[in-house]
Amino acid sequence: MVIQWSFGSHSIELRGIANNSETNIMKFSQPQTLKSIAIIIDAEFVGEDNFPITGLNEIHVVEQGDLVFVDHQKYYEKALKSKATSVLINKKVDCPEGKALIISNDPFRDFNKLIQHFSSFKKNEKTISESAEISNSTIVQPNVFIGNNVKIGSNCIIHSNVSIYDNTIIGDNVIIHANTIIGSDAFYYKKRAEGYDKLLSCGKVIVEDDVEIGANCTIDRGVTGETVIGKGSKLDNLVHVGHDTVIGKNCLFAAQVGIAGVVKIEDDVTLWGQVGVSSDITIGKGAVVLAQSGISKSLEGNITYFGSPAEEARKKWKEAAAIRKLPEIVKKLDEI
C-alpha cells in the first residue's frame, strides 16, 4: 500500500515497508540473509547462507521475500505454497524449489524473538510523541495520547482521552470520540501447558478520510500488516474491530458490533447493533445484517441477513413463524 501524504506544500510518501525508527511494519530496511536470521534464533536452516529475507509476515499477507511461520502439520502445505519464500517450520520437510526453510522446535516462540529483535517496543516520554505529524488544522482535545510516528491529516477532531498507538495513519476530516483506542495489540495467543503465549503485534491501523469513530471503540492493529477503516465509514459507540481486518468504504456499524481478526468487509455494508463477526470471512458489498445476528461464514453482497448463524432475513422470519406454530401442531397431533 502506498499513501501520498500532504501537509500544505510538504508531501511525503508512506509505503509501510521499512522496519526502522519510523515504522514497525515488518519489512526490513535492508534485506537479511537466511543464515543471519537462523543465527538470531539459534536454528538449523535449509538453503544457501545468503538467501535473502526481506520481511516477516503472517500467512494472509505474505509477499515474495517474506518469512512466514507454521507450527501445525495441517497448515504446512498452505505455508509452503504461499508467496513467502522462507518458512519457519517445526519439522524437516522437502524444501520447495526457490524457497528456504528454517527448522525450529517452536516457530511461534522464534517468530516472536524475531519481532522483538527487529521491532522492539519504544517507550513514549510525552503525551504526544515528538515524532507524530499532526496537521495544524486538526483539533486535539486535552488528555489525548498520540504515539510514535502517528500521522494525522487535516480538519480532524480527536476528542479527550483518545489513545492512538504507534504508527497509526489517520486521513483528513476524521472524527474520533472520547475514550476510543486505536492500535491496541491483536488478540492472538497460543495455548501452552503453563498458560497463554502472546504473538507480538507490530502492524498498524489506517483510518482513511471522512471516517467517524464513536466513543469507547477499540481497533486492534495488524500483527504484521494493517487494519483498515475505509473512507467514509461510520462506527457507532462501543464497536470493536479485530487485527488485520479491512473495512471498505461507506460502511455503517451500530453500537456493540464486534468484528474478529482478518475479516474483509466490502463497501457499503451495514451491521446493526450487537452483530458479531467471526474471523477470516468476507462480507460482500452492500450487505445488511440486522441486530444481534451472528456471522460465522462469508456472506454474499446486496442481501439482508438475520439470525445466528446469519441467513437471508426473510427465510429466517419464515422459520420463526413456523416455530411459533409448533405447539398448535403438536396439540392437534395429540388429539388424533
Q: What is the dihedral of CA 292, 298, 302, 308, to 10 degrees?
A: -20
Instruction: Determine which helix (DSSP H) or strand (DSSP E) holds 272, and give its type and residue range.
Output: none
Selection from 298, 320, 294 nearest residue 309 by Cα = 294
* Rounded-to-integer distance, Cα 132 and Cα 305, Å: 42
DSSP, collapsed to helix, strand or coil, labels residue 75 as helix
Cβ proximity of 53 and 32 under 8 Å: yes
Q: Which residues pair with 252 in a beta bridge?
A: 234, 270
- Output the CA torsion 87→92→95→101 (10° steps): 30
Task: Quote the crossing angle between the two packed helices 313-324 and 326-335, to the nearest 10°.
Answer: 40
CA distances from 53 to 2, 28, 143, 201 (A): 21, 8, 41, 20
Phi/psi for 94 (5° steps) reads -65, 130
The residue type found at 183 is G
Is residue 243 among the annotated active site residues? yes
Handedness of CA 219, 25, 35, 80 (dihedral sign): positive
| Residues whose CB is less than 8 angstroms from the CB of residue 324 and which lie 6 or more positions away in sequence, other chains included | none
> Taking the mean position of all CA atoms in its chain, how far away is CA 145?
21
Q: Which of 242, 209, 241, 202 is nearest to 225 (CA)?
A: 202
Based on its alpha-carbon atoms, the radius of gyration of the chain, rounded to whole angstroms, reads 23
> All 3 cell numbers of residue 143?
488528555
Question: So which residues are the catalytic ones?
Answer: 243
